[in-house]
């Protein structure tokens, strides 16, 4: 390929997403309509076997109380009523304690933990040195000739999280680009600025205890990105992130 | 002197057997040509015991305020869903635009990187994911044991 004058330095960056583990809470309208749908379904339905059994037993109890002689007492004393069954099921349900939706990491706002904000996407931010500044960025490394940009992005991920990371990269094409020019002090003829190409990947392995993180890192949601990223960079990144 | 007769018997027998086989084959062909029986779909046939009259629920009829409230709620829902759909479409459009811009810039840089980028990723599909649940998994949970017997009826044509 013709080695044309390439004044731009190329970087491959990886936006690693931890997908949500629990469902998002319903909006007010959604809850109202869900209740309405349940009500309509109940009205249009017929009685089930369990309900018929309950109705019959209630009638039998009523007849027993009104009539003075107990005709049913003659046969079978230990008859399980449908009402008792329901109470037993209710008790069993109350005994089960599910894992909480709001975890400890949520309460302490520990942004390095993956167990936070289980209902939204979390992405990885690392502190990198660009020029003479330490900035919070999506992990990036410079492109080496001979590799595709996707492998650059994967190498960026491996540099910061170790080799044993399992992530599904979504395709060979970049999702976004951030172009910037170097400050005039270090700008030379064939090194005007840099282009950072962003790739997206979904985190597959759920625990990263084996990962050796070599720099300061954070897992943040889309809304919290504004606390860490610079404005122009943030604008470009927000374009390819779905909420 | 007695040789000719056994020979005749064999010939006649062979002919009769062949004629019988052909008749059987014709009958089989006729049966096969008839259309196969349709397998009943059990979900579409309501068992008769559910159409008895004692099964009908007895609920109070809807008041006009209640039906009014329902109609207004459904209209609000319609608007909510429309807004949600528009927002999704806008987000997807922004995503596609961002990708196109990135590919354009990449092309300006180097043609071979661009070609590598627009190549199809074979390992991407089929993409499987365990969907989000209502609560996160409980560590150390021991699910109760049980056996599941399958009683679906299998029909053969």
Give strand ranges (E) for A6-159. Answer: 8-18, 122-130, 133-137, 140-142
A25: its two tokens: 């809470």
- Kindly provide the b/e burial profile for residues B4-37, where b requires at least 16 CB atoms within 10 angstroms of the residue's own CB: eeeeeeeeeeeeeeeeeeeeeeeeeeeeeeeeee
pLDDT in tens, B41-78: 878 888 888 877 777 888 888 899 999 999 999 999 99
Question: Given an 8 Å threshold on Cβ–Cβ distance, is A47 in contact with B94?
Answer: no
Element (H, E) at B20: helix B4-33
The CA distance from A165 to A153, in Å, is 13
- Residue-wise pLDDT for B107-152, tens only, equals 988 888 899 898 888 888 888 888 899 998 888 888 888 898 988 8
Q: What is the pLDDT of residues A42-90, one digit of tens each?
A: 998 888 888 888 888 888 888 888 876 555 554 445 578 888 899 999 9
Domain ranges of chain B: 67-118
Asked if residue B114 lies in contact with residue B100, where contact means CB atoms within 8 angstroms, the answer is no
Q: Name the percent of chain A lying above pLDDT 70.
A: 87
**Cis peptide bond prior to B126, omega within 30° of 0:** yes
Q: Tell me if B119 and A172 make a contact (CB, 8 A cut-off).
A: yes
pLDDT in tens, B90-114: 999 999 999 999 999 899 888 888 9
Nearest in space to A12 (alpha carbons), one of B117, B108, B123: B117
Task: List CB contacts of A194: < 8 A, sequence separation 6 or more.
Answer: A8, A9, A10, A11, A179, A180, A182
Please give the helix or strand (H or E) that residue A52 lies within, else none.
helix A49-66
State the first-to-last Cα distance of chain B, in angstroms, to the nearest integer. 58
Interface test with A, best of B102, B104, B123, B125 (most A CBs within 10 A): B102
pTM: 0.77
For residue A228, pLDDT beyond 60: yes
Q: Which residue is closest to A2 within chain B, CA to CA?
A: B110
Distance to chain B for A96, nearest Cα, Å: 10
CB contact under 8 A, A242 and B95: yes
Structure tokens at A96: 């089960």
pLDDT band at A211 (very low <50, low <70, confident <90, very high): low
Mean pLDDT of chain A: 84
The whole-number pLDDT of residue B37 equals 78
Assigned CATH for A8-22+109-239: 3.90.79.10
State yes or no: pLDDT of A2 exceeds 50: no
Mind listing the pLDDT tens digit for each residue in A156-194? 888 888 777 788 898 899 999 998 888 777 767 667 788
Best probe of the B interface among A58, A239, A241, by most B CBs < 10 A, is A239
Written as six digits, the tokens of A16 are 């690693």
Tokens coding A37: 């749908």
Q: Which residues of B98-129 are buried (b: 16+ CB within 10 A; e: fewer)?
A: bbebbbebbeebbeebbebbeeeeeeeeeeee
Residues of B in contact with A121 (CB under 8 A): none
């Amino acid at each position: 390929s013709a080695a044309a004058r390439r004044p731009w330095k190329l970087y491959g960056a990886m936006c690693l997403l931890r997908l949500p583990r629990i469902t998002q809470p319903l909006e007010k309208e959604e809850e109202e309509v869900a209740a309405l749908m349940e009500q309509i379904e109940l009205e249009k339905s017929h009685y089930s076997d369990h309900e018929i059994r309950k109705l019959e037993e209630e009638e039998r109890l009523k007849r027993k109380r009104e009539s003075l002689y107990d005709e049913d007492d003659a046969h079978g004393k230990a008859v399980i009523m449908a009402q008792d069954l329901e109470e037993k099921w209710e008790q069993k349900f109350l005994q089960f304690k599910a894992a909480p939706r709001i975890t400890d990491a949520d309460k302490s706002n520990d942004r390095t933990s993956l167990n936070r904000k289980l209902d939204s996407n979390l992405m990885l931010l690392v502190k990198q040195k660009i020029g003479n500044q330490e900035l919070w960025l999506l992990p990036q490394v410079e492109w080496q000739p001979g590799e595709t940009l996707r492998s650059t992005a994967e190498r960026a991920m491996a540099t910061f999280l170790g080799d044993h990371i399992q992530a599904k990269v979504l395709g060979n094409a970049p999702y976004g680009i951030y172009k910037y020019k170097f400050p005039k002090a270090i700008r030379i003829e064939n090194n005007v600025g840099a282009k950072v190409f962003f790739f997206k990947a979904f985190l597959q392995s759920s625990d990263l205890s084996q990962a050796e993180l070599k720099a300061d890192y954070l897992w943040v949601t889309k809304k919290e990105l504004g606390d860490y990223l610079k404005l122009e960079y943030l604008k470009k990144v927000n374009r390819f992130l779905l909420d | 002197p007695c040789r000719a007769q056994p020979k005749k018997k064999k010939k006649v027998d062979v002919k009769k057997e062949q004629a019988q086989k052909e008749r059987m084959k014709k009958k089989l062909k006729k049966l096969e040509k008839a259309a196969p029986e349709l397998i009943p779909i059990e979900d579409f046939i309501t068992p008769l015991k559910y159409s008895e009259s004692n099964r009908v629920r007895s609920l109070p009829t809807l008041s006009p305020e209640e039906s009014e409230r329902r109609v207004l709620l459904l209209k609000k829902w319609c608007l909510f869903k429309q807004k949600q759909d528009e927002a999704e479409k806008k987000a997807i459009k922004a995503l596609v635009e961002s990708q196109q811009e990135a590919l354009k810039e990449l092309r300006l840089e180097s043609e071979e990187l661009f070609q590598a980028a627009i190549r199809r990723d074979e390992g991407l599909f089929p993409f499987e994911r365990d969907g989000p649940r209502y609560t996160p998994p409980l560590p150390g949970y021991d699910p109760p044991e049980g056996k599941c017997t399958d009683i679906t009826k299998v029909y053969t044509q």
